[in-house]
Chain A
């Protein structure tokens, strides 16, 4: 999967945030809609799309969507 497609999947976690508002460099924690529940959505996304176990610590360490994408890639 390429980063653009991942950004599309990432946007699906949210109700009101469109993929067009996101880039690889978006700091996801600064998004209005980001919450602890979106973090759970992200863990589910990693499991469903990549069969990868994203740890709570991985999410805490990441700043941007690209960081998350590269953590997932490194676990493939």
Chain B
């Protein structure tokens, strides 16, 4: 596994233009995000993923021609058409026999796309699947949106899934589309982009946004997560007949430390085994789970490790997985 983050650091203590110093301090303390990496206008999620993939390929001496499939999980595609995975296949020098496609989900995305990568890798004729998961959500936030500005950072990650002698991994994937409005960017085919979509308007609680920027109902999302995340972890444990103390690491989507600390407490799980990178990188949407693994678990997944991961967010969509890592080589984080 490998990951790449932009060089540029934004500090949440500097957000005093949109909130008081005291509010900023409380938010840093509670949500747990001190700083975030954000990319410039010319950098895409695919650039960050490309750099992570190059690092993974170089560090592990992987022949690019040996990769049978490329998956790109993102909601920050280069273009509306064609799929970014096709562009990355060519950029990375992968074979023309390589299947490539984009997958689209928000914060639950890594768990979902890993299930796809593993399902394909278990088919005859596919030995190696390169999963690239990257987001640049910082570009979709209005600078006068107090809710979202302090949260989002950008990152790209690469995971290589290989056929081999591994213990069985288990996924539980869920959806509740009745909550589609909880996190939303309204512009799309349903609401075609016009000059009016770009007009910034004052919305709830003095937050500003246009229709191409992300809205989040924090309380709805929190409520949703309380209902599904601890239960998701319990369900995966019972589906795999695993005792909670047999989990080596529990990796949550990095959205809000106050919330995931609450889940850890609720599950009576050892907080030492819950890695966080939210303080340094913020919420990187679907890239947050692999970014946490790369930044916090380097050198720790050398032999067999039992990892539970949980992603949850827009959709509403959530997924929990129990993955048995075996000799997983994790590269140093690359800066772009």
Render B220-248 as a binary contact track against A, CB cut-off 8 A, 1 for contact. 10110011000000000000000000000
- Which B58-72 residues sit within 8 Å CB-CB of chain A? none
> CB-CB < 8 A to B227: which residues of A?
53
Size bin of chain B's contact surface: 20 to 34
Chain B 16-33 interface mask (CB, 8 Å, partner A; 1/0)? 000000010011001100
Task: Give the chain B neighbours of A40 by CB distance below 8 A.
Answer: 218-219, 222, 256, 258-259
B23 touches A35 (CB 8 A): yes
Tally the A-B contacts, defined by beta carbons under 8 Å: 43
CB-based contact A44/B31 at 8 Å? no
Q: Main SS of the interface on chain A?
A: helix
Q: B218 near A36 (CB under 8 angstroms)?
A: yes
How many residues belonging to A are interface residues under a CB distance threshold of 8 Å?
16
From residue 14 to 38 of chain A, which have CB atoms closer than 8 A to chain B?
15, 35-37
- Contact between A36 and B226 (Cβ–Cβ < 8 Å)? no
18 A–B contact pairs at CB < 8 A? A35-B23, A36-B218, A37-B30, A37-B31, A39-B219, A40-B259, A43-B223, A43-B226, A44-B226, A44-B259, A48-B262, A48-B266, A53-B223, A53-B226, A54-B223, A56-B217, A56-B220, A59-B219
- Residues of B at under 8 Å CB distance from A? 23, 26-27, 30-31, 147, 205, 217-220, 222-223, 226-227, 256, 258-259, 262, 266
CB-CB nearest 5 A-B residue pairs: A56-B219, A40-B222, A37-B30, A47-B226, A44-B262
Chain A interface residues toward B at CB < 8 A:
15, 35-37, 39-41, 43-44, 47-48, 53-56, 59
